[in-house]
Structure 1
Amino acid sequence: MNLRFIDEGYRRSPFVAMVLLFAAKSLLFRLFLFDGLTADGILSDLAAILFVLLVCEAIVPARIRGLVYWAVNLLFSLLLFAATVYYAYYGSVPTYTALKALDQVGQIGDSVNALIKGMYFVYFADLAVIAVWFIVARLTGVRIKGRKRIGKAGILIGCALLCIALSGSSVYRAKAIPNELEQAESLGFLNYQAAAAWQSASDNLAATTGNLEELKAEIAALKASYPYRSDGSPANESQSDSFGTAKGKNVIVIQLEAFQNFPIHLSVAGQEVTPTLNELAGESYYFPHVYQQIGQGNTSDAEFMSNTSIYPTGDIAMSTGYSDRVLPSLPRLLQAQGYTAATFHVNDVSFWDRDKMYPAIGFDKYYDKPYYENDHFNEFGPSDEQLYKTGIEKLSELHKRNQPFYAQFVTVSSHFPFKVPEGRGDSLQLPDGLKDTHLGDYLSAVHYTDYALGVFIGQLKAKGMWDDTVLVVYGDHFGLQPDKANAATISSQLGIKYDARLSRFNIPFIVHDSSLKQGQVVKQPGGQLDMMPTVAGLLGIVPDNEDAIVFGQNLLNIDRNVFGMRYYLPTGSFFNNDILFVPGKGFEDGSAVSLETMEPVADFEQYRSDYEYVMKLMSLSDKYVRLLPKRGPEKA
């Protein structure tokens, strides 16, 4: 190989070489994430790429320009690699706001590693080649020299401005597309970041000019326009049969990690996967049609929603973006009635900025990693058994003092990648076809989580706390990864009907109240926003009457519902009593699937008003949380 010829060629046109490499990587990114390539998308990518490289060409001195090009190339490759891995888990394209969660990655290293595929490293192929070339060149004496600019600075700046105009035009047109995936496909990775920055600036400006009281009235008027009861009557909370039946009781909320609904009442090789939850569901309010609504914050977003009934904005973890606010919440409502509020989580409290979120929600106390014995269950450390052991000790002290309490437990033993150490709990005996598979590991992790919950319930009964406690159990989000266990495989191996979206996002929601004489299966569909007002109703509280605006509904007091989901599905997606709807670029080119049959629904025009309502409701929720008063610096 003639290294001098290569060197001369590079020095003549490194700019062109970089344009081609960046374009090739952008095409790879599109192929990894989207179904195909479009001319508009490719042109949008090229405009953004040319702008970045023209800026380098114009301002970087010639002697270091080659080094800067390769540094920018490395950065671009890392961003595309990370975004591809991110998409493999979330099903969405990250924006620059995801960088605020980079400090969390080290604490979930096993989960991240399990998502990486060898093919993703193709983004770095050229960098590997240039590294080898550099080593060989050094050994053979070939020097890689700088070169003159490809043109005058004025020409470069003019071209850069033209690229800005082209990119800006694309971003402006894409603003009308609420579906983030469609928007990302249309714009490309770099322009999508620009669009996110533009939207964030617009939202921040609106937050400084809005009026909270006027917004509350607008929210109330919109909610009143939707018939949550089929007979047209208002959902009068205080007149429902279940209202206040648990008034004055302690409340324990258990958030189960990565817990989907399908394992409940499921048996594998003659063994119940969730015997504890099966029994609990039979004597409680059991809601089998509840769906996750989390955003970028995942587990922490589930905590946020179950306590506040406010939509996650989708562009940032709520614990990171809005923990400087005073958040109206169920803990605050109960504190006004003399309750104390505590939360238990075996991870470090700084994970997902919970050290800021918990005071914002109003918890009096949090118990994080130092409070538990580390039995090295998984990468988080302590097991669910250790979580509950500490919890029982602390709650028993309150119970002895007749201090009513609201306690939240966040489990982690069923966290991805679902590896349960041998000899822990009542092990699930898997058939050969499920052993050492993603599905089998998940069922084993869920089974252990159920076992530990059973131990905890036994302790509550032994300590005399069971009868005067409302126990709330729900899943935070899906567990099974679609690329590791697809819907057809799950259906075949378990003998159930499993839908790639409906079953994946379906989570359990169970509320046990000892005053309920017989268990009830409540088939009303709902989401995580509905958990707080449902529990509040049992406790005799109407949040809206206490100046705590909620965006969910009491599922025991309605027979119609509609609620949105975004991030794991594009904005504009919603569930109602009949369907899950997912938009395309708008409503007309969307798709729908029946909640009952899990079959596609071709004619969904009748649900247009639900789509428009949800879009307005989520927008108002975003404005509401941004306008909430900020906490004083002494509590931040």
Structure 2
Amino acid sequence: MEQSRGAYHRTPFFIVFVLLLLKLVLLRYFFFAGVEITRLAADALAVLVLLSILELVTPARIKGPVYWGCNLIFSLLLFSSTLYFAHFNSVPTYTALNELHQVTGIQSSIQSTIRWIDFIYFADILVLALLWVVNRAKGVRVPGRRPVWKIGVALVLVLSLSGSATFIQLGKSITNELVQAENLGFLDYQVAAALKAREENLTIQNGNIKDTISRVNQLQLTYPYHSPERAITGESPKYFGAARGKNVIIVQMEAFQNFPIHLKVGGQEVTPVLNRLAAEGMYFPNVFQQIGQGNTSDAEFISNTSIYPTGTVAMSTGYGDRILPSLPSLLRKYNYETNTFHVNEASFWNRIKLYPALGFDRYYDKPAYNNDHFNEFGASDEELYRLGVDKLSAVSQSGRPFYGQFVTVSSHFPFKVPEDRVRITVPDSMKGTQLGDYIQAVNYADYAVGTLIDSLKAKGLWDQTMLVLYGDHFGLQSKDNDPAVVSQQLGIKYDPRINRFNIPLLIHLPGENKGIVIDQVGGQLDIMPTVANLLGISLKEENFTAFGHDLLNVDKNIVGMRYYLPTGSFFNNEIVFVPGQGFEDGTAVSLKTRQPVSDLAPYKEDYEYILKLMNLSDEYVKLLPKR
């Protein structure tokens, strides 16, 4: 009897070990579309570390509930991580999981990603709970631990810790987060992320921002942004001051990819308003998103600061307590009043701190608008623009120029437009699909931009205002949209990386009616320097550190991307590059032909440059003083 009880005593350890390991196998299947048996050693060692600690510190009388609770928490963690990966296509770290409370703000978006198979993580929970209840009813008691068992568990702990440490050390040099997570396993990946953050923070503690700025400037001088001819002649920047003293409105369009521009579906223009703006102003068709964990809020951060997101935390959450060099702060020196408009609560993604940090004088969030119940956020883009133009008109009447930022949400995932607001009919083959819903959503968003323009004209502001519009990030979810199907449905060649991350940028100058296409490759980092040039503001003379460049005055460009693509990914004038474990096993696709590029050698310097530049950007933002 005593022997059987001893065996029972050890049973939870082995059962939970097997269950947790099986769940990590399932996670690997969801994340990496398959399971390599050789990778499971890292998962097994990490689980052994966790359970050995529990076994050694847990009193025998509560061991059953503790193991059951551990299994439940672990299941919730993996379930949440699977939903996160499905929505963002990135392996979440502990910093991303800290932001799970933001889910309530995009509840319908998250619900749309849940599949019935995701609940398989909890399949064993009910069975274990029932077994525990039965055993309690029978009066089964677990005897005290035998010394030999405790010694064995301690030895397992030491060996598994040593093995996990070896895996983490071997994976330390991998910059591609997805490859690193696959090599290390989910649990050790969290440890590696924490260790990396600790090393970076220790470096920052001894850092000097002036030294960092100097190294940023020196590094950027090594990249040929300007042709030798331009560098030699030192010609004045093109379009410098073309909108000097004018009002500025920047519209950040939710989930707006570039492919709908000039697209027709069923003979109907998807974006007639933006098409007209492109025909009358500046259109930049080769601009790409660069957001990190903060998604839409990161886009606001990037476009106003020209600083890379760190990728490890939403910039509003991690750096909303800093004094951020930014476009609003810069424009204050030129007597601009700066306002930002968003129909959601300012607490969402910590904008309540981000907006003051960016230097906005005022923000108008959810309580300021009439709720016309467009979607889960409440007010529609039309209502957003109505209130915004009224407030900006009052600023203009006071005699001051204004900068107004609008953050739209009517084209937010899952792209459901109320039936009475639908303005375009999609073909039957698209009805009920995410692609069809997306076309209707961006069409409505385009229509709403038209109401903004009409309101500006009615208030006498159109001829005194520079209008800038850009997309914050992709819309179509990769798991729900086969590129071949999208290509066939729309009559375009849809590349899962190039088209997915390609966003529009349009700029309309007062009094201009002749369009120009700027083919230069760029990113959201480049918006602020481009706008500053048009306003006649020299960032060099202002001693402003920007990691992007004026797209009207560069001959070659490179923009890095992380998070939705692994660190080290970049777009330059020729390709999009995505690393493997490093550069040599990376892949590249031509931006022009959409075909794979086999010879990577010419781009190694670009890869090394962008890694250095992004690291310096991280160092710079972490050294900014707190407010």
Return the TM-score normalized by structure 2: 0.97
Deviation per CA, 1:230-283: give whole Å up to 9, x if none: 336449998122111111111000000000011111111111111111111111
| Corresponding position of 1:278 | 275
| Corresponding position of 1:291 | 288
C-alpha deviation, 1:125, in angstroms:
1.1
| Corresponding position of 2:254 | 257
User: What is the DSSP-based 3-state SS (H/G/I as helix, E as strand, rest coil) of the residue aligned with 2:98?
Assistant: helix
1:510 to 2:510 alignment: no
Query: Whole-Å Cα distance in 2 between the matches of residues 232 and 178 of structure 1?
Result: 36
Partner AA of 1:403 in structure 2: R
| Corresponding position of 2:464 | 468
| Corresponding position of 2:431 | 435
Structure 1 segment 96-115 matched on structure 2, within 5 A: 96-115=94-113
Deviation per CA, 1:73-97: give whole Å up to 9, x if none: 1111111111111111111100000
Deviation per CA, 1:473-530: give whole Å up to 9, x if none: 0000001111112211111111111011110000000011024451101000100001
Query: Whole-Å Cα distance in 1 between the matches of residues 466 and 341 of structure 2?
Result: 17
In 2 relative to 1, CA 620–338 (structure 1 residues): closer, same or farther, beyond 3 Å?
same
Query: Whole-Å Cα distance in 2 between the matches of residues 399 and 610 of structure 1?
Result: 45
The answer as to whether partners of 2:279 and 2:513 remain within 8 angstroms in 1 is no
Q: 1:479 aligns with which of 459, 475, 478?
A: 475
| Corresponding position of 2:64 | 66
The answer as to whether partners of 1:228 and 1:234 remain within 8 angstroms in 2 is no
Query: Whole-Å Cα distance in 2 between the matches of residues 503 and 288 of structure 1?
Result: 11
Query: Whole-Å Cα distance in 1 between the matches of residues 222 and 450 of structure 2?
Result: 43
Q: 2:15 aligns with which of 14, 17, 41?
A: 17
Q: 1:56 aligns with which of 54, 78, 85?
A: 54
Deviation per CA, 1:21-74: give whole Å up to 9, x if none: 111111111111114334552111111100100001001001111110111111
Runs (4 or more) in structure 1 with deviation over 6 Å come to 6-9, 235-238
C-alpha deviation, 1:229, in angstroms:
1.9
C-alpha deviation, 1:367, in angstroms:
0.4
Query: Whole-Å Cα distance in 2 between the matches of residues 43 and 210 of structure 1?
Result: 39
C-alpha deviation, 1:126, in angstroms:
1.1
| Corresponding position of 1:125 | 123
The answer as to whether partners of 1:246 and 1:515 remain within 8 angstroms in 2 is no
Query: Whole-Å Cα distance in 1 between the matches of residues 543 and 5 of structure 2?
Result: 70
C-alpha deviation, 1:117, in angstroms:
1.0
| Corresponding position of 1:92 | 90
The answer as to whether partners of 2:381 and 2:410 remain within 8 angstroms in 1 is yes
In 2 relative to 1, CA 46–68 (structure 1 residues): closer, same or farther, beyond 3 Å?
same
Structure 1 segment 385-424 matched on structure 2, within 5 A: 385-424=382-421
C-alpha deviation, 1:166, in angstroms:
1.5
C-alpha deviation, 1:377, in angstroms:
0.7
The answer as to whether partners of 2:6 and 2:142 remain within 8 angstroms in 1 is no
Compare 160-169 and 8-17 and name the one that shifted more. 8-17
Structure 1 segment 76-475 matched on structure 2, within 5 A: 76-134=74-132, 141-149=137-145, 151-231=148-228, 233-234=230-231, 239-424=236-421, 427-475=423-471
Deviation per CA, 1:568-593: give whole Å up to 9, x if none: 00001000000000000000000000
Partner AA of 1:345 in structure 2: H
Deviation per CA, 1:536-590: give whole Å up to 9, x if none: 1101112233122000010000120111000000001000000000000000000
Deviation per CA, 1:263-313: give whole Å up to 9, x if none: 111111111111111111111110001000000000000000000000000
The answer as to whether partners of 1:344 and 1:408 remain within 8 angstroms in 2 is yes
**How big is the alpha-carbon RMSD for the aligned residues of Structure 1 and Structure 2?**
1.8
User: What is the DSSP-based 3-state SS (H/G/I as helix, E as strand, rest coil) of the residue aligned with 1:464?
Assistant: coil
Identity of aligned residues (%): 55
Query: Whole-Å Cα distance in 1 between the matches of residues 197 and 512 of structure 2?
Result: 47
C-alpha deviation, 1:456, in angstroms:
0.8
In 2 relative to 1, CA 89–250 (structure 1 residues): closer, same or farther, beyond 3 Å?
same
In 2 relative to 1, CA 117–237 (structure 1 residues): closer, same or farther, beyond 3 Å?
farther
Deviation per CA, 1:189-239: give whole Å up to 9, x if none: 110110111111111112211011111110000001100123364499981
Gaps of 5+ in 2: none
Partner AA of 1:128 in structure 2: L
The answer as to whether partners of 1:474 and 1:510 remain within 8 angstroms in 2 is yes
Query: Whole-Å Cα distance in 2 between the matches of residues 314 and 215 of structure 1?
Result: 19
Query: Whole-Å Cα distance in 2 between the matches of residues 136 and 428 of structure 1?
Result: 60
User: What is the DSSP-based 3-state SS (H/G/I as helix, E as strand, rest coil) of the residue aligned with 2:571?
Assistant: strand
In 2 relative to 1, CA 546–622 (structure 1 residues): closer, same or farther, beyond 3 Å?
same
Query: Whole-Å Cα distance in 1 between the matches of residues 456 and 230 of structure 2?
Result: 40
User: What is the DSSP-based 3-state SS (H/G/I as helix, E as strand, rest coil) of the residue aligned with 1:46?
Assistant: helix
In 2 relative to 1, CA 93–248 (structure 1 residues): closer, same or farther, beyond 3 Å?
same
Query: Whole-Å Cα distance in 2 between the matches of residues 476 and 544 of structure 1?
Result: 27
The answer as to whether partners of 2:558 and 2:570 remain within 8 angstroms in 1 is yes
Return the TM-score normalized by structure 1: 0.95
C-alpha deviation, 1:143, in angstroms:
4.2
Structure 1 segment 535-614 matched on structure 2, within 5 A: 535-614=531-610
The answer as to whether partners of 2:64 and 2:132 remain within 8 angstroms in 1 is no
C-alpha deviation, 1:12, in angstroms:
4.5
In 2 relative to 1, CA 146–628 (structure 1 residues): closer, same or farther, beyond 3 Å?
same
How many residue pairs get matched?
624
C-alpha deviation, 1:133, in angstroms:
3.8
The answer as to whether partners of 1:245 and 1:515 remain within 8 angstroms in 2 is no
Gaps of 5+ in 1: 1-5, 632-636
Q: 2:39 aligns with which of 41, 45, 50?
A: 41
In 2 relative to 1, CA 95–393 (structure 1 residues): closer, same or farther, beyond 3 Å?
same
